[in-house]
Amino acid sequence: MTRLWSTGTSISVQSDALMTPLTFTWQGQTHRVHKIAKRWRVDQDWWQQRIWREYFKLTTRTGLLVIIYRNLLTGNWYLQRLYD
């Protein structure tokens, strides 16, 4: 299953100049990104409350497969899916 946090769970991320995540910290554990499998953006609901996110599907050196996103409006990072 993927564990899904409907509105995302907050994480802290270290990224490079292109805002590509390099590491993220979740539940006190830091995970170094191994590979970015996919990267995409979602921009919708501009007429209500705009949802503008950049998603990353990535694997980590700790063996996780996750989807994280950056809220492009606030700059905050969230973990949304953990494959299990």
Partner 1 sequence: MSSKKRKRLAATVAAIQRRWGTKALSRGERTLRPPVEIPHISTSFPSLDQALAGIGGIPRGRLTELLGAPTSGMATLALKIMASAQPDGQTAVYVDLGRTFDPDYAARCGVNLAQFLLVRPANGLEALEIGHSLIASRGAGVLVFDAVTHLLADPQGAQALSMALRQLLPVLAKSPAVLIFLTPLQFGSAMSAANYPSGFALPHYATLRLQLKKEKWIHKGRDVRGYQARVLVLKNKLGQAGRQATIAITFNGVVRGDST
Partner 2 sequence: MIACLLIPYFAAAVERQIDLSLATTPLVLSESRSASEQVFAVSVEAAQYGIKPDMALRQAQTLCPQARFIPAKPTQYQRTFKEILSLLATFTTKVEPGDNQLAAIIYSDLGRLANTEQLELAEYLGQMVQERTHLAPALGLATGKFPAYVAARSIGLRRILFIAPGQESSFLAPLSVTHLPLDQALMHRFRLLGLCTLGQLAALPAGAVLTQFGQHGRWLHQLARGSDDRPVQAHSIPSLEQVTHQFEDPVSDRTVLAALGRTIAMELAVRLEARGQGARVLELILHLADQRQWEEQLVLRQPTSSPDRLARNLGGLIDRLQLASGVVELTVKAADLVSIRAEQLDLFNHQNRAEQEKRIYALLPDLIARYGSDCFAEVMLTNQLAHLPERRFSLRAVEGR
Q: Give the separation between CA 81 and CA 9, rounded to whole angstroms.
A: 9
Of the listed pieces 10-18, 32-40, 41-49, 69-77, which binds partner 1 according to CB under 8 A?
32-40
* Interaction residues for partner 2, span 33-72 (CB under 8 A): 42, 44, 51, 67
Three-state SS string over 22-48 comes to EEEEECCEEEEEEEEEEEEEEEECCCC
6 or 27: whose CB is closer to partner 2? 6
By CB under 8 A, is residue 61 in contact with partner 1?
no
Between CA 47 and CA 14 the distance in angstroms is 32
By the rule CB under 8 A, 55 interacts with partner 1: no
